[in-house]
Structures are given as structure tokens and as C-alpha cells.
């Protein structure tokens, strides 16, 4: 469950009336059933989503693939990514 802004330097308490939600799929480990939940949710508060976005980078480990989320300044994104 989301409780605070995904920006670790912010930490604002979750407020569903502002900000932006992000949903990222994570790769399942080979031994997990196909119906296992494979989505992680993140939220940026209203102030942070004006300056930043989130992007996913996958990093695999032997027993469980890991989803790594990066905070990206919006100025570094392509115009298509900013509109999404």
C-alpha cells in the first residue's frame, strides 16, 4: 500500500486527490505461479510530479528479479514521455 511520496527526499503523506500514480510490472521468478501478483505501485505528490517522473530499470538476481525505480528530472525526458 502506498503511504508516502516515492521521492525519498520528500516523504509527503499519500493524498489520492493530487500527484501521479505509476504502475510497474516486475518479472516473476521462475518458481512463482503464473497468477502471482507482478505489479508494484508508486505515487509522486503534486509538487514532486511537476519536477520528476519515475522510470523502471530491471536488475536480476538469482532467486528473485528485482524492480528498481529511478527518480528522473522531467527536464531530461523526451516530450512524449512527459505527456504520458
Task: Give the tens place of pLDDT for each residue, 1-46.
Answer: 789 999 989 989 999 899 999 988 776 666 666 666 678 889 999 9
Considering only residues 82 and 40, tell me which one the structure prediction assigns the higher pLDDT.
40
The residue ranges of every structural domain in the chain are: 20-83
d(CA 13, CA 47): 12
Instruction: Round to whole Å and give the CA distance between 7 and 51.
Output: 11
- Distance CA(25)–CA(39), nearest Å, equals 4
Angle ∠(37,24,12) on CA atoms, nearest 5? 105
pTM of the model: 0.68
Give CA torsion, residues 52, 54, 57, 62, to 10 deg: 130
Amino acid at each position: 500500500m502506498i503511504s508516502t511520496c516515492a521521492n525519498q527526499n520528500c516523504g509527503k503523506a499519500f493524498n489520492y486527490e493530487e500527484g501521479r500514480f505509476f504502475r510497474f510490472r516486475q518479472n516473476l521468478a521462475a518458481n512463482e505461479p503464473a497468477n502471482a501478483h507482478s505489479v508494484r505501485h508508486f505515487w509522486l505528490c503534486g509538487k514532486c510530479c511537476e519536477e520528476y517522473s519515475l522510470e523502471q530499470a530491471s536488475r536480476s538476481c538469482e532467486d528473485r528479479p528485482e524492480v528498481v525505480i529511478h527518480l528522473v528530472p522531467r527536464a531530461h525526458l523526451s516530450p512524449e514521455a512527459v505527456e504520458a
